[in-house]
């Protein structure tokens, strides 16, 4: 997850043919990307913090041979999933930040660009999503494995 924060999360493009019909198709007028630590995304820091916490809980649980502690790594996994959903919900803010970076344009051109900006998720976001799912899966599996190995001390097991 920590590496995924450094990769591009959001890609913003404007195709020239969308804004100017006479422009050759496939020509990109403007393009920008933002990784998890960019100001366009803003919640990547939380994802990085969740990755560090999940790694620490996983290592500590493995060293102490405590599956419950390793299973607790699912909590930062769920939290990082929440931060990824926030990025998904706030894709329009990336669009407005890209528009702010453009030089001052006539209002007609700026309006045309605003209508034709394409904001997509990029490889870093998908990798962070996959790693969050892996962290949650491994943590739950470790917790369940430790629950099977622990002896049950219930009333039916008493001598």
For residue 138, give every residue at least 6 positions away whose Cβ sits within 8 Å of its Cβ, in sequence order, or none: 58, 70, 73
Provide the pLDDT for residue 36.
80
Q: Alpha helix locations (H) across 90-155?
A: 91-101, 107-115, 123-149
- pLDDT confidence of residue 118: 80
Class of domain 2-149: mainly alpha
- 9 neighbors 125 (Cβ within 8 angstroms): yes
pLDDT at residue 20, as a whole number:
66
CA 51 to CA 46: how far, in whole Å? 9
Q: What is the mean pLDDT of each run of 10 residues along the chain (159 residues)?
A: 87 71 67 75 84 92 87 92 89 72 70 77 93 93 83 55
Q: Is the pTM of this model over 0.85?
A: no
């Amino acid at each position: 997850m920590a590496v995924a924060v450094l990769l591009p999360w959001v890609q913003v493009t404007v195709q020239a043919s969308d804004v100017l019909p006479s422009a050759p198709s496939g020509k990109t007028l403007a393009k920008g990307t933002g990784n998890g630590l960019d100001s366009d995304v803003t919640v990547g820091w939380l994802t990085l913090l969740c990755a560090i916490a999940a790694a620490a809980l996983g290592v500590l649980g493995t060293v102490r041979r405590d599956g419950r502690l390793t299973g607790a790594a699912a909590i930062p996994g769920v939290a990082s999933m929440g931060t990824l959903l926030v990025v998904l919900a706030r894709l329009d803010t990336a669009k407005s930040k890209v528009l702010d970076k453009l030089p001052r344009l006539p209002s007609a051109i700026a309006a045309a660009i605003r209508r034709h900006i394409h904001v997509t998720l990029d490889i870093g976001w998908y990798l962070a999503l996959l790693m969050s799912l892996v962290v949650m899966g491994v943590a739950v599996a470790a917790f369940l494995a430790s629950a099977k190995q622990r002896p049950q001390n219930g009333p039916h097991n008493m001598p």
